Amino acid sequence: NHTVLVSRSGGERVIADSGSPIRDSEGKVIGVVLVFRDITERRLAEEALKRVSRQNELILDAAGEGIFGLDLNGNHTFVNPAAAKMLGYEPDELIGKHSHSTWHHTKTDGTPYPEQECPIYSAFKDSAVHHREDEVFWKKDHTSFNVTYTSTPIIDNEKLVGAVVTFRDITEHRLAEEALRKSEEEYRSLFEESKDVVFISTPEGRFIDINKAGVELFGYSSKKELIEADIEKNLYVHLGYRKELLKILDEQGYVKDYELLMKNIKGDILIVLETATAFRDETGCLTLYRGILRNITHQRKLEQQLMQAQKMEAVGQLAGGIAHDFNNFLTAIIGYGSMLQMGMEKDNPLTPHVQQILSSAERAANLTKQLLIFSRQQIIDPRPVRINEIIFAIEKLLSRLIGEDIELKLTLSPGNPTIRADICQIEQVLMNLATNARDAMPNGGKLMIKTESVVMDDKFMMTCGCGKEGQYVVVTVSDTGEGMDEKTRERIFEPFFTTKEVGKGTGLGLAIIYGIVKQHNGCINVYSEPGEGTSFRIYLPLIEDKVEDRIVSGQPDAIGGTETVLLTEDDSEVRQMVSGLLADFGYTVIEAVDGEDAVEKFREHKDNIHLVILDVIMPKKNGKEAYREVALMKPGIKVIFESGYPADVIRRKGIIEEGVEFISKPFAPSELLKTIRKVLQQ
Ligand code: ADP
Ligand code: MG
């Protein structure tokens, strides 16, 4: 019996009482012995124990983790609800069952899991805690799930009695991890595969990370090598540029398409656009920059070339326009001057003045001719020629030109390549280049001319801003002279650009070369640095044609004739001059003022006319149209075209064909007379 008594102090005590009767000798109960025991302490201990085990139960029930106990045979001693649920069993179903063979029998890859390898049971062998994160448990329905588990040995009184296993289903976690890894991979490849350079850098000037495009752009052999580089020192062209950029980044937080000059490992200049953002920590301190770089070097080059080409085109048009009008005046000046001279007695005291006029006019004519060459308004006479032969033929002349202090060295391509060119013009190119080289080497040096055949791809021809891909002959003319800086280099092809003192240079040499090369469908580049010499490279399209033998015809002397000539010329001054000249030399001249008039006059006098002189470009009807009509009336009629107008335009428009006689204004009278005789005697 338990009795609760209240002690004098007020505390409750639990008393266990037992009584036994006291009997006399006859067995009669005469009293009772009562024994009281205070069991309060024991009761408390028991209740505490009960409470603990209830608490444990609660904990086990509430735990989200699977928890179970194993005896030394590997059989379940207890299983919490979470464990049972995850494995798909009722807790009772598992108690006493062998754990390994129930839900740990097969490995992740589907192969059997030998019991002796089971880390859960290893706890029995070494009394140590075992933890795994990469295995699966098998459910009652034979499906599996990813788990992380810990097997902890239970030691009671220094004796191993079993193990407690806790585990968690990490399938979700695995999926999330996988998704994260995938998304990271995607961003990584976005970063790595970007054709623009993507980087993260520090304010101190190091890359933290940079993609493949960056390693390629800067020409480093690996990302590691580039990360070790000092951005400002190794990649910027000008020290201080970076500070400027960082200042803007600092103030604005970002930059967009900021143009920078950078360099690759070889020192080649790169023009890049940077777009970047600055990142700060909580204290507002700049910690890093993230951004992209876009290489626009090639694009810029093309733009510059286009601008250069457009400038040259505009200058050419201007120069050509002036030269053309100027030519008409010169034709009149030279014509009248010549007539004046012819009409004078040898001892006339005014003869020297006339001569002076004529020679000045000749020089002026020469100048306008050069301008016309530059503006590609000169008719050229291209034919298949061997470039080596042209060079070889004027080797002596070039040697004499450059003087004894300069050594001339030819390295001619063994293939003897053929191009389609006007020999005289190619000779002029070489002579102009040699003259410049001589001027650049006042103390002597070396002039080298080299030819080689090359195949140019599209990309190269694009960068050099001209022509199509294909086979070219490259003529390289290099000297060991003073070279030139960028400012000079940019302008050398402009007409009248010269760095030489007045009277020494006209600034037309390279302008003419430029015009000639362009007219030959070629292109020209210059490589030069101050003090490093200069090298011009001229690309001319290679052709397959056979080289015709050069015909050297005997020139007839300047003489007159008695034939009738129809002279068409819209410029009345020029017309009168030529007409007078021809009349002086015995010809009968019929004048026409334009193409239409020419056809009219021809119809009237067609039986008498032996030769028609037509200006190529005239009002109303151009030379070709007039010629066509005239030739219909009298097939085989002889013709000479003349013009100071853009010759390549004329050729392009098919106004005059090759083989048709052409005389360019201004012409010397003897030249015209010779040509007339030549044509009439054909
Ligand atoms: P000019 O010779 O009359 O000055 P050019 O058109 O031939 O005119 O040349 C223009 C300028 O280009 C020269 O004044 C010179 O500054 C520069 N130049 C041309 N060729 C060379 C060269 N081989 N070396 C150095 N500078 C050169
Ligand atoms: Mg020159």
Q: Cα–Cα distance between 70 and 276 in angstroms, integer?
A: 61
Residue 336 CB coordination number (10 Å): 20
Please state, in angstroms and as integers, the Cα–Cα distance from residue 423 to each residue in 429, 454, 456, 493, following that order. Answer: 10, 21, 24, 21
CA of 455 to the centre of ligand 1 (A): 29
The Å distance, Cα 513 to ligand 2 centre, comes to 10
Strand partners, 155: 160
For residues 628 and 658, the model is more confident at 628
Rounded Cα–Cα distance for residues 406 and 446 (Å)? 5
Q: Kindly report which listed range (120-129, 220-229, 319-328, 581-590) carries the lowest average pLDDT score.
A: 319-328
Q: Are 498 and 519 within 8 A, CB to CB? A: no
Q: Which residue has the tokens 């020629």?
A: 385
Identity (one letter) of the amino acid at 129? V
Q: How far is CA 259 from the centre of its chain?
A: 15
* Residue 445 Rama label (left phi>0; alpha psi -120 to 50; beta): left
Closest ligand to Cα 492: 1
Distance 520 CA to ligand 2 centre (A): 20
CA distance 38 to 56: 29
> At 143, is the pLDDT very low, low, confident or very high (cuts 50, 70, 90)?
very high
Q: What is the mean pLDDT of residues 415-432?
A: 86
Ligand 1 atom closest to the CA of 499, numbered from 1 = 14
166 or 366, higher pLDDT: 166
Q: 436 CB less than 6 Å from ligand 1?
A: yes
Helices within 344-457 (DSSP H only): 351-374, 387-393, 395-402, 423-440
Q: Is the C-beta atom of 91 inside 6 A of ligand 1?
A: no
Binding site membership of 535 for ligand 1 (Cβ less than 6 Å): no
**506 C-alpha to ligand 1 centroid (Å):** 10
- Calpha distance 595→639 (Å, rounded): 14
Residues in the chain: 682
CB atoms within 10 A of CB 182: 10
Does 481 contact ligand 1 (Cβ within 6 A)? yes
Q: What is the Å distance from ligand 1's center to 357 Cα?
A: 31
The answer to whether 538 and 524 have CB atoms below 8 angstroms apart is yes
Q: Is 510 in the pocket of ligand 1 (CB under 6 A)?
A: yes
Which residue of 436, 447, 506, 508 sits with most ligand 1 atoms within 8 Å of its CB, as the best mutation to test the pocket?
Answer: 436
Ligand 1 pocket, 437 CB below 6 A?
A: yes
Q: Is residue 488 lining ligand 1, measured as CB closer than 6 Å?
A: yes
Q: Furthest-apart CA pair in the chain: how many Å?
A: 201
Sheet holding 470-479, edge to edge: 406-411, 445-456, 470-479, 534-541, 523-528
Spatial neighbors of 609 by CB under 8 A, at least 6 apart, are: 564, 565, 566, 590, 602, 634, 637
**Residues with a beta carbon under 5 angstroms from ion ligand 2:** 436, 509
Q: How far is CA 434 from the centre of its chain?
A: 35
Q: Separation of 499 CA from ligand 1 center, angstroms? A: 7
> In the structure encoding, which two tokens stand for residue 586, read together?
């015995």
What is the structure's pLDDT at 557?
44
Q: What is the CA radius of gyration of the chain?
A: 53
The pick from 433, 479, 494, 510 for probing ligand 1's pocket by mutation, whose C-beta has the most ligand atoms within 8 angstroms, reads 510
**Confidence band for 466, pLDDT divided at 50, 70 and 90:** low
Q: Which residue has the higher pLDDT, 664 or 612?
A: 612
Cβ proximity of 229 and 208 under 8 Å: no
3-state secondary structure at position 420: strand
**Whose alpha carbon is nearest atom 8 of ligand 1?**
507
Confidence of residue 236 (pLDDT cuts 50, 70, 90): very high
Q: Which of 492, 516, 528 to mutate to test the pocket of ligand 1 (most atoms within 8 A of CB)?
A: 492
pLDDT tens readout for residues 535-574: 999 999 998 876 665 433 333 344 688 999 999 987 776 7
Cα–Cα distance, 377 to 518 (Å, whole number): 11
Taking Cα atoms as reference points, which of 110, 107, 109, 68 lies closest to residue 89? 68
Residue 75 DSSP label: B
SS3 of the chain: helix, strand, coil, percent, to 5? 40, 30, 30
For residue 351, the Cα-to-chain-centroid distance in whole angstroms is: 66
Mean pLDDT in residue range 422-434: 85
- How many angstroms separate the alpha carbon of residue 495 from the centre of ligand 2? 10
* Atom number of ligand 1 nearest to Cα 481: 24
Predicted TM-score (pTM) of the model is 0.53
- pLDDT tens sequence across 598-607: 999 999 999 9
Q: Whose CA is nearest to atom 16 of ligand 1?
A: 499
Ligand nearest to the CA of 498: 1
User: Which residue in the block uniquely carries the two structure tokens 């007039």?
Assistant: 626
Confidence of residue 310 (pLDDT cuts 50, 70, 90): confident
Nearest CA residue ID for atom 4, ligand 1: 498
167 pLDDT more than 90: yes
Residues 309/293, Cβ–Cβ less than 8 Å:
no
Which one of the ligands is nearest to 495 CA?
1
What local confidence, expressed as pLDDT, does residue 611 receive?
A: 95
pLDDT tens for 386-420 read 999 888 877 877 887 788 899 999 999 888 899 99
> Which of 96-100, 283-287, 569-573 has the lowest average pLDDT?
569-573
| HEC sequence for 515-541 | HHHHHCCCEEEEEECCCCCEEEEEEEE
